């Protein structure tokens, strides 16, 4: 074989290697672009799911995005490694080519002349799986209103389930505190007195500054009355009255405090308390009931 034939064969082999390497780079580039497109589509589906207030769908898409992002990052690593290895091979190939060419100046070689270093591949990063505060706010409000609507429609089992899911999904914030209150109120509406009492206690202990504390105390007193735990009921009614003596529930709380006192054998104190309702709140609807109750208790 002549020197020219040997040179031609060597150049042919080198050319085939170059083509193979470029094909590999292009294949990986196309795969990365495809995954990037899928990730973008999944992110758009996630945004739509947030608007539709679907916690289950959000979680499903989140898992898919995390998996896809991991795959893309792995592909990015492989692509970068291949690019680095290719550059090294191209440098070696260019050097060998230059040695075979009479007019080639090794000092003027520009490495990786056969590959475009700027592949312009968009690799989706963490922003795809990190929700913005605005998206979370939209989802949070939508989920709360869905639970609230169920409660207002007197679908108390559904409301209870949705409020419980809400608290699990959003454990912090004003809406979460209100959801805790409505969990207790849903249990009360379902006549689950013990569970309601425990839930109201939990809410009161955790939200002492809430505007709903007075109502929570009063409802708790009602639940305890159903259980005939009159001493505990008296404490709850007193808590409701003391929380805000000018609130709309204050006259009722004072009246039922008197009833509870009578149930535990403190008739004189009961009469004084019920009479206080008439004195303090003469225009309250409960006054007529209080006057009748005083007669039944034979108050002087």
Q: Which tens digits make up the pLDDT trace of 183-207? A: 999 999 999 999 999 999 999 999 8
When comparing pLDDT for 58 and 251, which is higher? Answer: 251
Query: Residue 250: is it exposed, middle or buried by C-beta count within 10 angstroms (0-12/13-18/19+)?
Result: buried
For range 255-276, the mean pLDDT: 92
Secondary-structure breakdown of the chain: helix, strand, coil percentages, each rounded to the nearest 5:
75, 0, 25
For range 217-233, the mean pLDDT: 95
pLDDT in tens, 241-258: 999 999 999 999 999 999
Query: Residue 231: is it exposed, middle or buried by C-beta count within 10 angstroms (0-12/13-18/19+)?
Result: exposed
pLDDT in tens, 133-145: 455 577 788 889 9
Dihedral pair phi/psi, residue 147, rounded to 5° = -70, -40
- pTM of structure: 0.56
Distance between CA atoms of residues 37 and 1, nearest Å: 52
Question: With contact defined as beta carbons under 8 Å apart, do 20 and 110 qualify?
Answer: no
Instruction: Please enumerate in sequence order all residues whose Cβ is within 8 A of that of 260, keeping only pairs 6 or more positions apart, or say none.
Output: 221, 225, 230, 231, 233, 234, 237
- Cα dihedral across residues 219, 223, 226, 227: positive or negative: negative
């Amino acid at each position: 074989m002549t020197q020219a034939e040997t040179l031609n064969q060597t150049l042919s082999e080198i050319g085939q290697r170059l083509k193979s390497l470029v094909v590999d780079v292009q294949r990986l580039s196309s795969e990365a672009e495809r995954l990037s497109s899928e990730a973008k589509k999944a992110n758009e589906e996630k945004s739509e799911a947030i608007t539709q207030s679907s916690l289950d769908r959000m979680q499903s898409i989140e898992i898919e995005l995390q998996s896809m992002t991991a795959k893309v990052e792995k592909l990015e690593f492989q692509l970068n490694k291949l690019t680095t290895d290719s550059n090294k091979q191209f440098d070696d190939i260019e050097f060998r080519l230059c040695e075979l060419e009479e007019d080639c100046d090794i000092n003027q070689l520009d490495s990786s002349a056969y590959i475009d270093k700027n592949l312009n591949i968009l690799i989706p990063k963490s922003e795809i799986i990190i929700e913005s505060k605005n998206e979370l706010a939209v989802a949070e409000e939508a989920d709360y209103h869905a639970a609230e609507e169920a409660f207002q429609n007197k679908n108390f089992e559904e409301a209870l389930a949705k409020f419980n899911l809400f608290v699990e999904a959003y454990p912090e914030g004003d809406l979460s505190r209100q959801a805790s209150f409505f969990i207790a109120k849903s249990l009360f509406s379902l006549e689950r007195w013990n569970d309601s009492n425990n839930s109201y206690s939990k809410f009161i202990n955790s939200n002492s500054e809430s505007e709903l504390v007075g109502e929570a105390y009063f409802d708790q007193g009602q639940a305890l009355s159903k259980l005939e735990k009159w001493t505990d009921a008296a404490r709850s009614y007193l808590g409701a009255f003391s929380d805000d003596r000018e609130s709309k529930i204050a006259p009722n709380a004072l009246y039922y405090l008197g009833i509870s006192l009578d149930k535990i054998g403190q008739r004189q104190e009961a009469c004084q308390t019920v009479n206080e309702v008439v004195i303090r709140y003469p225009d309250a609807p409960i006054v007529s009931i209080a006057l009748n109750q005083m007669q039944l208790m034979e108050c002087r």
